[in-house]
Chains A and B, each alone.
Chain A
Amino acid sequence: MPNMSLRKNKMPVQEPSLRSKNFDEVALGYTPEQAVDEAGRCLNCKNKPCVSMCPVSIDIPGFIAKIREKKFKEAYEIIRQNSSLPAVCGRVCPQEVQCESRCVRGIKGEPVAIGFLERFVADWCDENLKQVEKVVEKTGRKVAIVGSGPAGLSCAGDLAKRGHEVTIFEALHAPGGVLTYGIPEFRLPKKIVEKEMENLKKLGVEVKTNVVVGCSVTVDELFSQGFEAIFISSGAGLPRFMNIPGENLNGVYSANEFLTRINLMKAYKPDSQTPIKRVRRVAVVGGGNVAMDAARAAKRLGARDVYVIYRRSENEMPARKEEIQHAKEEGIIFKTLCQPTRIHGDSLNFVDKIICSRMQLKEPDESGRRRPVEKKGSEFEICVDCVIISIGTSPNPLIRRSTPDLEANSWGGLVVDPQTGLTSKKAVYAGGDVVTGAATVILAMGAGKNAARAIDKYLAELG
């Protein structure tokens, strides 16, 4: 008999007043009892609507059934068949718009907490089992992967499992891509990323840090070094700015810079050599997950007032509902329907206020979201000493520039076959943000997975 509770088991979290002062993980994870109880809510539907919404097609009712039977290791194995990073996905996937959005239990009441269960299984196995990767027969084929973010890691894992010799080239000094420099410790502890890296290395994947493909070595040179196929997953790239007066004042950061200083360079730790401005009043411009991360990180650095300024209403915010809620609990102040018009500085060119206009929503635009229009004469100012711009990125030009036969679209994203990830260049595949623009971890992983399948097929056909 299934557990017919309309509500899911609540995720235990650190108290807001406590967590807004530390960088430790906010969500603490289910206990085995909670997990088994939650798993009991799954109806094990025959047509599995949840699976149809999973970018990597995990057998969701299958692994949940194993949790109900307390066979956590078997549950883990089911997830691992399709996902190479379960501990990561259980934390950062937007389940509410994917698997959980189609859960039958969600029609009346809350859907099964699929994400929380995935996370539980991954963490339980990490703590309780010694993972042994099966030894696979080597094919002797060499594949190069550009970038060690979610797309690159998932592609590398799948190719290594098929016996190919995989080398990942990472531009920064630490692997993980956005998992390392972008998503903060309090949402995704770096030891989890390190653990996933170790698992990949056990599969035989080699990671070379401090190599910028496009500068240190080109795509064509990788072929001449003996790589037979290349997967480009170099990520989203340069931050966008609003082009309003005052954006280059001291104290104005892109979210990428602010978060990189904190996450990759650990600027919040006393022994880090990387500086970050100690701020008291912060305005974060934008409404995505990155904006939430920046706002919550600023709070943890000791800022008293942190504002999120977004030009549409909360309904249109691209950030996950859970992140918005966590941010609010931590005291982040939401200024929705507001658009910055300029940033003002003091006599030394440090930010002292941001000037905004109030907006109203009109008919939907091409993105399907309602178009914000400025209300005349509604300007107001907020005193701040730091502004963080989090309105998206445009693709990094380095690989395109050094690989002329790689086709890109008008905004700079690489053009690929959507099924295989094959680019306009033979044996070169691409996936993740470098193709789609800024998207989610799981979509990037899905792209890496598809490309791995196509690369494996291509290599097999080489004979």
Chain B
Amino acid sequence: MFKVVKKKILNSNVSMMEISAKMIADKARPGQFLMLRVDQEGERIPLTIADCNRKYGTVSIIFQIVGSTTTRLNRLNEGDHIKDLVGPLGKASELDGLKKVAVVGGGVGCAIAYPVAKYLHSSDVIVHSIIGFRNKNLVILQDEFEKISNRLIIMTDDGSFGDKGLVTDALENLISSGEKYDKVIAIGPLVMMKFVSRLTQKHNIKTTVSMNPIMIDGTGMCGGCRVMVGNEVKFACVDGPDFDGHLVDFDEAISRSMMYRDFERESREKTCNLFKRSQKECQI
């Protein structure tokens, strides 16, 4: 059992939890993930490690409430326990030897982009962060990004906060204004990563994306997390989750991510009913 030591609501459907897990905290590096199971009948889900505190032996996760499991997870409060937690899994992001990097985060993906940007900043790399959200209410980690970015651009789809438009618009502006990056790191929805990669390919800038496919075990056994990268089968759990954005077959990854969409919705509704809450309170 793993104790939740801190919980923070970041927006209406994104929460942060700090969990006591010394073994994982001792080892975790940016880009790695963990698998968790909320309770005895729970499914195993992968979540990227958003931060870790070696001194107190804790790791942080930031998650969006999308299905039954994240709904159940979000019902836990400080002092409650998570049944199973295992990690750190996957390869750490390759962040050494860089001088100037654009970090692009979209939605809850900003939670994964943040530790990467933070690590780069602490290694004296110039960091330009571009973070995008659908609207003002969904903005997360603004203060955190401000502290570690040499330049921060916030985009919203509807212009209710920051600049109106997509993260690719902001990236394109920076590149065309003469900014030269060794690397672009894009983390967010598959569609966002696809278009960032397409843009950077045009400008010939190395690009890393973080894939978050469906996983069961997360340890290199089930093969559910396979991603086509440069026409080769790669497993996100042991070969990734970071891959070269110019080689990933995003269209296939997007289609694979739809596999359980109906199940997810139904199961979430069931969970909401179980807890006798209206759909609205459940904040779907």
Contact = CB atoms under 8 A, between A and B. Distances in A.
A261 B87 CA distance: 20
A277 B263 CA distance: 9
Contacts of A266: 41
Interface residues of A, number: 42
Interface stretch (A51-59, A236-244, A287-295): A236-244
A272 B19 CA distance: 24
Nearest to B86: A210
A424 interface: no
Interface stretch (B173-181, B186-194, B250-258): B250-258
Given A210-B86, A272-B41, A237 B69 contact: no
B59 to A, nearest CB: 12
Contacts of A181: 217, 221
A209 B23 CA distance: 12
A120 B101 CA distance: 66
Chain B contact surface mostly: mixed
Contacts of B72: 273
Given A209-B84, A210-B84, A171 B222 contact: no
Residue in A215, A272, A275, A349 whose Cβ sees the most chain B Cβ within 10 Å: A215
Given A254-B224, A396-B220, A212 B86 contact: yes
A397 B238 contact: yes
Given A275-B263, A396-B221, A171 B86 contact: yes
B85 interface: yes
B43 interface: yes
B98 interface: no
Nearest to A237: B220
Interface in B2-56: 23-24, 27, 37, 41-44
Contact of B23 (A211, A243, A247): A211
B256 A250 contact: yes
B44 A257 contact: no
Interface in A191-239: 209-212, 215-217, 235, 237-239
A237 B221 contact: yes
B208 interface: no
Contact of A397 (B43, B86, B220): B220
A134 interface: no
B76 interface: no
Given A250-B256, A257-B223, A349-B255, A215 B216 contact: no
Interface in B227-275: 228, 233, 235, 238, 252, 255-256, 258-260, 263-264, 267
Interface string A264-291: 1110000111110100000000000000
A148 interface: no
A273 B42 contact: yes
B238 A238 contact: yes
B259 A256 contact: no
A277 B44 CA distance: 17
B93 interface: no
A216 B87 contact: yes
Contacts of B107: none
Interface residues of B, number: 40
A313 interface: no
B221 A173 contact: no
B212 to A, nearest CB: 16
Contact of A398 (B68, B220, B267): B220
A256 B225 CA distance: 12
Nearest to A238: B220
B64 interface: no
Interface string A78-95: 000000000000000000
Interface in A138-191: 171-173, 181
A368 B223 CA distance: 29
Interface in A243-265: 243, 247-251, 253-254, 256-257, 260-261, 264-265
Nearest to A266: B41
A215 B88 contact: yes
B89 interface: yes
Contact of A216 (B23, B84, B258): B23
B128 interface: no
A129 interface: no
Contacts of B219: 171-172, 212, 215, 396, 398
A273 B263 CA distance: 10
A107 interface: no
B277 interface: no
B89 A212 contact: yes
Nearest to A273: B43
Given A272-B41, A273-B69, A171 B217 contact: yes
A273 B238 CA distance: 24
A244 to B, nearest CB: 12
Contacts of A250: 255-256, 258-259
A18 interface: no
B23 A217 contact: yes
Contacts of A275: 43, 260, 263-264, 267
Contact of A273 (B89, B220, B267): B267
A260 B217 contact: yes
Interface of B: 23-24, 27, 37, 41-44, 68-69, 72, 83-89, 216-217, 219-224, 226, 228, 233, 235, 238, 252, 255-256, 258-260, 263-264, 267
8 contacts: A248-B228, A254-B222, A256-B221, A257-B223, A264-B216, A275-B260, A398-B219, A398-B238
Given A210-B85, A348-B258, 10 more contacts: A212-B87, A235-B221, A250-B255, A257-B223, A260-B222, A261-B216, A266-B41, A273-B42, A275-B260, A397-B238
Interface of A: 171-173, 181, 209-212, 215-217, 235, 237-239, 241, 243, 247-251, 253-254, 256-257, 260-261, 264-266, 271-275, 277, 348-349, 396-398
